[in-house]
């Protein structure tokens, strides 16, 4: 087992660094897996090639302190440098709205990254083994992670970061994947998993043979956590059907990984045919549906943005039906997807175009000339003296109205269903929604439109409006030969 372990690590080290003097950070909890990892590493490469990192999550009282004592004593006895940290995991989970498991994961990986940057460690080495990999595959199947999730953990991968670490740690653009995919990973720090080909029974056998000290985490026996539930309730059934199920699963995961790579190449080739992501992600519906395997391509595009299986099912049903596609809104934790007539538009919630809360109806009174921020749009209101040499034509991005007809104060607000006006030069009424259709407005453009409403005789709530800022005005507010002063309203 030691010779095999040494060979695996040497191959991994060759992938990430040519220097034989590089130092590595071993994540050690005190359990049998990580203690055997540390023992095998020191036996194969020496204490000077590594340091240990131990996290006390303060979740199990004296047991957590006992784990820390064990790791501390072992590091001292074997001459290995040790880094220790104590976390208030419960508080972090509460403040960030995540589970205890996720909180512990985010805290430890953030700290590992900081240690690597500060001390120059080439990689973080963790003790995930074949049983862990099998559990991960089953968990991913339950969650619904697509073909990628069936491939299991990679022997070498970038250090993952949580969304809560973004301000402190840079994100990288994953060139080896779709150009859309922004992965929260550290490109300069790798994670090594040299135990992935070893089963839990083999690791326990090494601990027995070499008298490796370790502590048993009592919570491992509980089925409260999903991973433990799979380990204690699901896997015994698999073992009765196939005593070598762990090795079988890991072999199948290798096949899934090869298949996933093939599908990844196919998706990357087809994404460019359906997606424009110059300012935001815009998916052409007609181009998407022209591809026979469009369902998986849609999943591939949306998965990095956190849209769940329920959203995908709803979108698939919508795209396959005869219903109107435009005007629907879907949300993930950090993104918004809006459906248009032939596009799916994805915006980050922190994008400037979404600063206005689109679920509200912004309403502002313009009492004097100036700059107003309404419904996520910057509006400039000016009063100018009208002269005969000025053109009555509405300039692009602006509207001009007779100041004797649209008087201060007037209202700037979001459009409402039923709003109408008589467009300049016409005689009949036209709904604002129909005007938007004629202008081929997207859902986002409709939501950000600013309507001008006359307040004379409390008309602010009426649906006969004075115009749409920067677009059109009602004919009754137009400039005439008797106009002396105008109001110019510009979207800037």
Partners of 380 in the beta sheet? 371, 490
pLDDT of residue 441: 87
Euclidean distance between CA atoms 170 and 185, whole angstroms: 8
The CATH number for 277-351, chosen from 3.40.50.2300, 3.30.465.60, 1.10.10.10, 3.40.190.10, is 3.30.465.60
Structure confidence by residue, pLDDT tens digits, 124-148: 999 999 999 999 999 888 887 778 7
The three-state (H, E, C) secondary structure of the chain, written as one string: CHHHHHHHHHHHHHHHCCCCCCCEEEECCCCHHHHHHHHHHHHHHCHHHEEEEEEECCCCCHHHHHHHHHHHHHHHHHCCEEEEEECCHHHHHHHHCCCHHHHHHHHHHHHHHHHHHHHCCCEEECCCCHHHHHHHHHHHHHHCCHHHHCCCCCCEEEEECCHHHCCCCCCEECCCCCCCCEECEEEEEEEECCCCCCCHHHHHHHHHHCCCCCCCCHHHHCCCCHHHHHHHHHHHHHHHHCCCHHHHHHHHHHHHHHHHHHHHHHHHHHHHHHEECCCCEEEEHHHHHCCCCHHHHHHHHHHHHCCCHHHHHHHHHHHHCCCCCCCCEEECCCEEEEECCCEEEEEECCCHHHCCCCCCCCEEEECCCEEEEECCEEEEEEEEECCCCCCCCCCCCEEEEECCCCCCCEEEEECCCCCEECECCCCCCEEHHHHHHHCCCCHHHHHHCEEEEECCCCCCCCCECCEECCCEEEHHHCCCCCCCEEEEEEEC
Euclidean distance between CA atoms 361 and 411, whole angstroms: 12
Answer for the pair 44, 5: CB distance below 8 angstroms, yes or no. Answer: yes
Q: Give Cα 412 distance to the centre of its chain.
A: 34
CB atoms within 10 A of CB 6: 16
Antiparallel, parallel or unpaired: β 24-27 and 123-125:
parallel
The CATH 3.30.465.60 portion of the chain extends over 277-351
Give the angle subtended at the CA of 192 by the CAs of 77 and 304, to the nearest 5°. Answer: 140
Which two structure tokens, joined as six digits, stand for 128? 């995930």
The CATH 3.40.50.620 portion of the chain extends over 2-241
Euclidean distance between CA atoms 394 and 347, whole angstroms: 32
Structure confidence by residue, pLDDT tens digits, 313-367: 889 988 988 776 777 888 888 888 888 888 898 888 766 444 344 434 467 888 8
Q: What CATH topology corresponds to 2-241?
A: Rossmann fold (3.40.50)
Partners of 54 in the beta sheet? 84
pLDDT of residue 226: 79
pLDDT of residue 172: 26
Euclidean distance between CA atoms 64 and 71, whole angstroms: 11
Stated pTM of the model: 0.63
- The one-digit pLDDT tens for each residue of the chain (492 residues) are 999 999 999 988 877 765 556 789 999 999 999 999 999 999 999 999 999 999 999 988 888 999 999 999 999 999 999 999 999 999 999 888 888 888 999 999 999 999 999 999 989 999 999 999 999 999 888 887 778 788 889 899 888 754 444 333 322 223 333 334 333 454 568 899 999 999 999 999 999 999 999 998 776 666 566 788 888 899 999 999 999 999 999 999 999 999 999 999 999 999 989 998 766 789 999 999 999 999 999 999 998 898 888 888 889 988 988 776 777 888 888 888 888 888 898 888 766 444 344 434 467 888 899 888 887 788 899 999 999 888 877 778 999 999 999 999 999 998 888 999 999 999 899 999 999 999 988 877 888 899 999 987 555 457 899 999 999 999 999 999 999 999 999 997
């Amino acid at each position: 087992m030691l010779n095999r372990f040494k060979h695996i690590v040497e191959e991994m080290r060759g992938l990430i660094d040519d220097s034989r003097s590089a130092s590595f950070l071993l994540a050690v909890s005190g359990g049998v897996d990580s203690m055997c990892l540390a023992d095998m590493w020191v036996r194969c490469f020496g204490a000077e090639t590594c340091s240990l990192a131990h996290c006390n999550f303060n979740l199990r009282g004296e047991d957590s302190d006992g784990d820390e004592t064990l790791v501390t004593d072992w590091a001292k006895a074997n001459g290995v440098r040790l880094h220790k940290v104590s976390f208030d995991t419960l508080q972090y989970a509460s403040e960030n709205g995540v589970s205890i498991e996720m909180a512990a994961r985010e805290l430890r990986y953030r700290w590992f990254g900081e240690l690597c940057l500060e001390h120059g460690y080439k990689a973080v080495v963790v003790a995930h083994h074949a049983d862990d990999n099998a559990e991960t595959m089953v968990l991913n199947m339950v969650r619904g992670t697509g073909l990628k999730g069936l491939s299991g953990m990679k022997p070498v991968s970038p250090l993952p970061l949580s969304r809560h670490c973004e301000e402190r740690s840079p994100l990288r653009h994953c060139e080896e994947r779709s150009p859309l995919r922004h992965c929260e990973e550290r490109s300069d720090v790798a994670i090594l998993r040299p135990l992935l080909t070893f089963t839990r029974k083999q690791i326990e056998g090494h601990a027995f043979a070499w008298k490796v000290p370790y502590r048993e985490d009592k919570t491992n026996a509980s089925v409260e956590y999903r991973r433990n539930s799979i380990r204690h309730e699901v896997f015994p059934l698999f073992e009765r059907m196939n005593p070598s199920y762990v090795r079988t699963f890991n072999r199948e995961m290798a096949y899934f990984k090869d298949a996933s790579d093939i599908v990844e190449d196919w998706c990357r080739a087809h994404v460019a045919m359906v997606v424009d992501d110059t300012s935001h992600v815009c998916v052409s519906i007609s181009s998407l549906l022209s591809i026979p395997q469009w369902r998986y391509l849609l999943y591939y595009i949306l998965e990095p943005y956190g849209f769940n299986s329920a959203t995908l099912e709803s979108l698939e049903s919508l795209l396959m039906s005869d219903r109107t596609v435009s005007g629907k809104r879907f949300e993930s934790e950090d993104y918004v997807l809006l459906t248009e007539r032939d596009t799916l538009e994805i915006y980050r919630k922190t994008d400037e175009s979404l600063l206005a809360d689109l679920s509200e109806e912004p309403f502002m009174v313009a009492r004097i000339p100036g700059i107003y921020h309404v419904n996520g749009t910057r509006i400039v209101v000016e009063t100018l003296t009208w002269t005969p040499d000025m053109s009555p034509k509405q300039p692009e991005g602006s509207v001009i109205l007779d100041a004797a007809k649209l008087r201060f104060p007037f209202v700037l607000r979001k459009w409402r269903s039923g709003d109408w006006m008589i467009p300049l030069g016409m005689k009949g009424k036209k709904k604002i929604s129909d005007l938007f259709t004629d202008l081929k407005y997207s859902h986002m453009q409709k939501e950000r439109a600013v309507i001008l409403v006359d307040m004379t005789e409390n008309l602010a709530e009426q649906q006969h409006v004075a115009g749409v800022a920067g677009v059109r005005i009602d004919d009754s507010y137009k400039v005439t030969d008797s106009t002396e002063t105008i109001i110019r309203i510009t979207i800037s």
